[in-house]
Copies of this chain bind each other. A is one copy, B any other.
Amino acid sequence: MHSYTEENYLKTLFNLANEKGEVSPNELSKRLAIKMPTVNSMMKKLAEKKLVHYESYKPLRLTEKGKREAALVIRKHRLTEMFLVQKMGFGWEQVHEIAEQIEHLHSPYFFEKMDEMIGYPTIDPHGSPIPDKTGKIDGVHYEKLSDCKIGDTVKLAAVIHSTDEFLKFLNSRELHLGLKIKIKVVEKFDGSMVVAYNKNNAESLSHMVSERLLVEKL
């Protein structure tokens, strides 16, 4: 088994790789808020354990084993988030912090039971895919709302880079997963959009917002 700390490095490497492709020590350092030399020596340690491919001055890459281990931590995180929302009544903006801690528990029964209670979901409350028990994870193919065109009608499928603040903002606009959205206007100069959904007939969304919303074309 890996330490709490190692699990956090693995998970973060995995997430960064999914967001940006290649991962540099510098990015990892920033994301973890841990200084570079520390990250550096941890990478050597994880390389020893065959979890990371590490070569000086080259981007970091998880090995297959590293990916699997990371995915299993992420699985626990996302199952937990789903449980907290569905069975305990938390809002989607509240669950990340709690899941961040619970993901490190070592208790197969506990996660097994949560999974069962919430009906073996494949996505979490923010629309991110939940890896299966072997660490396999769906490659998702949604597109950013910001990449859609006037006239498109789309379904809100996932939210990325979702901080508390951002999720609370979405709550206040009644923007939740599954929602049907129609694009009415796209402003050239700032990329903002005017969209229609629910009873709101002309809600304006900044580019900052629309690029964090993943949608499925209908």
Q: Which residues of A contact B (CB under 8 A)?
A: 84, 87-90, 94, 97-98, 101-102, 105-107, 109-110, 113-114, 117
CB within 8 A of A113: which of B89, B109, B114? B89
- What's the number of copies of this chain in the assembled complex? 2
Is chain A's binding surface mostly helix, strand, loop or mixed?
helix
Residues of B within 8 A of A105 (CB): 98, 101-102
CB pair A107–B101 under 8 Å, yes or no, is yes
Roughly how many angstroms separate A173 CA and B58 CA in the complex, as a whole number?
63
User: Which of these, B98, B106, B107, B109, contacts A109 with CB under 8 Å?
Assistant: B98
The residue in chain B whose Cβ has the minimal distance to the Cβ of A88 is B113
Q: Are B101 and A113 in contact (CB under 8 A)?
A: no
How far apart are A8's CB and chain B's nearest CB, in angstroms? 15
Taking a contact as CB atoms under 8 Å apart, the answer to whether A97 and B107 are in contact is yes
Establish whether residues B88 and A117, one from each chain, have CB atoms under 8 Å apart when the complex forms: yes
- A113 surroundings in chain B (CB, below 8 A): 88-90
Q: Are B94 and A98 in contact (CB under 8 A)?
A: no
**With the chains together, A26 CA to B94 CA distance in Å?**
43
* Docked CA distance A65–B191 (Å): 57
